[in-house]
Amino acid sequence: MSPEQLLALDARHVWHPFTQAAAARPPILAASAKGASITAADGRTYLDLVSSWWVNLHGHGHPAIAAAIAQQAATMEQVIFADFTHAPAAELAARVAALLPGDLDRVFYSDDGSTAVEVAMKLSLQFWSNRGIAGRDLFVGFEGGYHGDTVGAMSAGHSSGFFSAWKGMLFPVETVPFPATWDGDDAVAAKEAASLDALDRLFAAKPGRVAAVLIEPLIQGAGGMRMCRPAFLAALAERVRAEGALLIFDEVMTGFGRTGPIFACQKAGIVPDLVCLSKGLTGGFLAMALTVAREEIYREFLGPDLDRAFLHGHSYTANPLGCAAGLASLDLLLSDACSARRAAIEAIHRARLDDLATRADISRTRLCGTIAAFDVGGSGGSGYGAAIGPRLKAAAFDRGLLLRPLGNVLYLLPPYCLSDEELHRAWDGIGQILAELAG
C-alpha cells in the first residue's frame, strides 16, 4: 500500500490522542526507527528528542531488547497471571525491588502509568479499611499535577486543566501549591514554606482524614516540566509521616534514570509507601506498569477472607514479553556506558541552557538529570494552550527535530543513546527557531 493510501486510511479511521484533528497538521507516516531517529515514508528523518512520549530509554529498535522479546515470544507469549507466575515476571519484580530503597518489595503489575496510579490509590484506601480505620478516605495532590487519564488519576490531577469535560465524574481531591523552581530562583524557599504550610493547615483542618498524598517527585511532567528541590520532598515526607498518611510517588516519567539516579526517590533520600512506574520500564517496546508497595502495606491484604485481598487486575498483567523487555532494558540501564551517556547529556544540557539564559525571550531555565526545560516568551499567553506552542513544534519538525512543547514550555527528554553531536545539533536548531520567532 502506498504512503498516500495509508495516510488516507489514517485520516478516515484513526483518532489520534491529545490532538485537535480539525487544526492539526497531517500526521507523519513513520516507516522505521533506529537509535535516536525516526525515518518517515518520504525519507525524511526526525531526531526524537522526547523519547516518543518519554518511553524510549535506549533508542528505537535496540537489538538487545528486540532479541529478548523474540526469544520470549518463541517460548511463551502470555499466561493468565492470577493462577500462574513465570520467570520474567518474578525476576523483573525482584530486580526492580532491589533497586528501590527501603522495603519497597511488593510489585503489582498493570498496563500503563494511569493504571499504576489507579492501583496505588485503590491500595491506599483498602489499606486503611483492612486495618479497620474508618474515615481515611481523602487524597491530597499538588496544583498542576498530572497522573493519567483514568478516573482516579484524573481526580488526583484535576488541577492540571486537562479534565474539565469530565469534572462531574471526578471525586474530590485536595490540592496544595507546588513550589516550582528554576535556575536563579530567589523565592524558592518562600514557595516551599507556603506549600508546606498549606499542607499543615489541611492536616489540621481534617485530622485523620488523609489516606495518601500523591506527588510527581522532582518534576511535574505534563504540567510543564515544573521542578522542585529534593529538600522540599524530604520535608513533605516528614509531614506526611507525622500525619500518619501514606506517601505515593508517581515516578511514571521520572523513573529509570531520568532525574540522574535510577529513581527520583533516591535523589531525595526518601522511601515512599508506594511508587508508580511505567513509561521507560520496557525501554519503549511494550506497555507495562508497576505499582511497588512497602511490605507493611502488602501484609494488610493477607487473611482468610477474599474480601481482604486486592481484587484488581488486567488481562495482560505481567505479560511475559513486556517482562522480558524490562529485564533487557534494566541490563542496559545499569551499564557503565548508559551512566556515562546520561551524565554527558546532563552536562551538555547545562552548558546550552546557560547559553540561552541571556536571551530576553527565554526565562526559567531548569534542569534535572537528562531533562532540560525553559519558558519561551512572546504574545499568546502561557500554559498548555499557549499560541506559541504549535509554532515551536512546526518549526522543529521543519528542521527534522521531534519536539512537543507543553504550551510555551520547550523541553528536551531524549533517549540515552543520543550522541553529543546529535544533542548539539538539536540545541543549535532550537537556537535558530528562537531567533526566527523573535524576528
Pairwise CA distance, residues 144 & 112, whole Å: 21
Using only C-alpha atoms, the chain has a radius of gyration, in whole angstroms, of: 22
For 143-175, give one letter per residue: b (16+ CB within 10 A) or e: bbbbbbbbbbbbbbbbbbebbeeeeeeeeebbb
Beta strands in 25-161 (DSSP E): 30-34, 37-40, 45-48, 104-110, 138-142
Local structure of 75: helix, strand or coil: helix
Q: What is the DSSP string of 202-215?
A: HHHHSTTTEEEEEE
Kindly write down the DSSP assignment for every residue of 94-121, as one continuous string.
HHHHHHSSTTEEEEEEESSHHHHHHHHH
Is 146 labelled a binding residue?
Answer: yes
CA dist 22 and 346 (Å) reads: 38
Helix axes 320-333, 87-99, angle to 10 degrees: 40
The DSSP bridge pattern shows strands 371-376 and 45-48 to be unpaired
- How far apart, in whole angstroms, are the C-alpha atoms of residue 314 and residue 109? 8
Give the residue from 350, 374, 353 showing the smallest Cα distance to 363.
Answer: 374
122 belongs to an annotated ligand binding site: no
384 marked among binding-site residues: no
Which positions ≥6 away from 43 have C-beta within 8 Å? none
Q: Does 166 show up as a binding residue in the annotation?
A: no
416 is in an annotated binding site: no
53 is in an annotated binding site: yes
**SS3 sequence of 307-355:** HHCCCCCCCCCCCHHHHHHHHHHHHHHCCHHHHHHHHHHHHHHHHHHHH
Residue 250 is assigned to a ligand binding site: yes
The reply, when asked if residue 313 is annotated as ligand binding, is: yes
Q: Residues 160, 166: contact at Cβ < 8 Å?
A: no
Per DSSP, 262 falls in state S
Residue 180 near residue 188, CB atoms below 8 Å: no
- The DSSP line for 248-259 is EEE-TTTTTTTT
C-alpha atoms less than 13 angstroms from C-alpha of 204 in its C-beta half-sphere: 6
- Nine-digit cell at 340? 556515562
Residue numbering of the annotated binding site: 53, 113-114, 146, 250, 279, 313-315, 404
Residue ranges for the binding site for pyridoxal 5'-phosphate?
Answer: 113-114, 250, 314-315
Binding region for substrate: 53, 146, 279, 313, 404
